[in-house]
Amino acid sequence: MSEDTVTVGEAARLTGVSAKMIRWYEARGLLPPAPRSASGYRRYGEAEIRTLHFVRRARDLGFDVEAIAELLALWSDRDRPSAAVKAIARTRIAELRRRITALEGMARSLERLAADCCGDERPDCPILDDLSAGEAPPPSPGKTVRRRIGMG
């Protein structure tokens, strides 16, 4: 093995990707199978470290494994159309915006419930009442549908 390679633990330290995730990425094909030392330890070179940095950054931006695989393929293709990369990014942006809308709705619901709770020594709690009622989330922002399920 070359001295320019590092163990999975060192690759994890260098990239901020856990050793477990490095092995998982390798099993999923995001990273090529690592060559092994004579004692059977995985060894990673500069190219694999760059790929792990790429994957880590893509994960930080919320890309799923399938999108990361597509991005890695485009990254390695010097003749790639940047439009393909942009389309993947725009798809992710739309997904993030949908999640932000849903999270904002959850925050509004919790704020309403917290405002309705006296927060005193009494056992009455509208937050617990709401949670135990099985209320469905609103179908769209600003429109609340309440559904109560009996506790038979």
Q: In order of start, what are the domains of the chain with their CATH numbers?
A: 1-61 (1.10.1660.10)
Ramachandran sector of residue 142 (left: φ over 0; alpha: ψ -120 to 50; beta: rest): left
Q: Would the pTM count as exceeding 0.85?
A: no
Give the closest residue to 30 by CA, choosing from 53, 7, 5, 46: 53
Q: Tens digit of pLDDT for each residue in 32-77?
A: 998 898 888 899 999 999 999 999 999 999 999 999 999 999 999 9
How does pLDDT run across 85-115, given as a tens digit for each residue?
Answer: 999 999 999 999 999 999 999 999 999 999 9
